[in-house]
Amino acid sequence: MGLRPGKCYRFQNKPSYTRVAIKVHKKNYIGSTPGLRTRQFNTGNPLKKYSHIVDFLAEEKVQIRDNSLESIRVGINRDLTKTVGKENFFVRLRIYPYQILRENKQAQGAGADRVTKGMAHPYGKPIGRAARVRIGQKILSILVNEEHLSMVKNALNKVKSKLSCRTSIRVGTDVTSIGTLPKRIKKRMEEKKEETAEEAKKEEGKKEEGKKEEKGKESKKEEKKGDKKGEKTEKKDDKAKDQKKK
């Protein structure tokens, strides 16, 4: 059975029964939680300094499923990699699919009416995850430089049809509003700093060794000069002694 359309899971103001008790499993509202289909929340190059930020905003109260989030992320990443280059942008999803979606399965074909009888308001079986979005909330943000803004807008316009709500695009210069860097990127930066520090130490050690070798060569040259001078003085003294004897 395929996925139901998005209108089957519209946003409601009522609290959702999505409690998952990790320590006390008897208090669970749901027997199990489905796996997350959104594989990554950060893509691109976060280490570069960018001048502009492009926010993708929701204009309706809606629930966006995790597979929809993954599809727009993959589409934007593919398009920007071709047009802008994989090192010239950074994309971050700003929402997380906490909401657990449930479904009461029904049999299809002859005699299917027998399945519809049962509890009036059953919980149903968990089938997926979704993120509840408010009006004006950021779905994702993209860091990019000014010369690539038109390409980013085109990429966002292409993926609008993958969402079940009206959306808008906002361009700004407050790059820090996207938040902090991911932990793995921070680790990479620390590792790079350590590597550069080690390389700098090695280069300094090589320079010091070269200076020591030069000093040693100079001292050897001075010793040789001193030895030659001593030999010359000794020869002069020998000649003077021979002359006196004569």
Q: What is the residue-level pLDDT of the chain in tens, covering all 246 positions? A: 567 776 777 676 777 767 777 788 787 777 778 888 888 888 888 888 899 999 999 998 888 889 899 999 999 999 999 999 888 999 999 998 888 888 776 666 665 555 555 555 666 778 888 888 989 999 999 999 999 999 999 999 999 888 888 999 999 999 888 888 777 777 777 777 778 878 888 888 777 777 777 776 777 666 666 666 666 666 666 666 666 665
Query: Is 64 within 8 Å of 164 (Cβ atoms)?
Result: yes
- Of 148, 140, 147, 151, nearest to 179 by C-alpha is 140
**CATH assignment of 6-104+122-178?**
3.90.1170.10
> How many angstroms separate the CA atoms of 43 and 143, rounded?
11
Which residues touch 36 (CB under 8 Å, ≥6 apart)?
66, 97, 129
What is the per-residue pLDDT for 62? 87
pLDDT score at 149: 92
pLDDT of res. 246? 55
Q: What is the pTM of this model?
A: 0.68
| Other beta carbons less than 10 A from residue 101's beta carbon | 21
Alpha-helical (H) ranges within 43-176 are 66-83, 149-158
pLDDT at 244: 63
Q: Looking at residue 154, what is its pLDDT?
A: 93
What does the pLDDT read at residue 190?
76
What is the structure's pLDDT at 205?
76
Q: Which burial class, exposed, middle or buried, applies to 22 when counting CB atoms under 10 A from its CB (0-12, 13-18, 19+)?
A: exposed
